[in-house]
Amino acid sequence: MSKIEALEKEIERLFRSELTAFRNWFLEFDAEAWDRQIETDAAQGKLDHVTEIAIAARERGEGP
């Protein structure tokens, strides 16, 4: 059995309140991982092209 399968089985056994707590924890964990990845990508210049597109669109009066 893989780690993922073992985790799935454990999650299936959780009480509703435990599942709610786990879900909240995981959402926060996942959001923080995304934030770190975006910060890393931005620092490495990987988002520069996207930023340039957004700035150009705004200058044309498009978007918010």
* pTM flag (> 0.75): no
10 Å CB burial of residue 47 (0-12, 13-18, 19+) is middle
30-50 tens-digit pLDDT: 999 999 999 999 999 999 999
Domain boundaries, the chain: 15-59
The average confidence (pLDDT) of the chain is 96
Confidence (pLDDT) at 14: 98
Under the banding of pLDDT at 50, 70 and 90, the label for residue 6 is very high
**64 pLDDT above the threshold of 90:** no
Give the E-state strand segments of 20-60 in sequence order.
Answer: none
10 Å CB burial of residue 52 (0-12, 13-18, 19+) is exposed
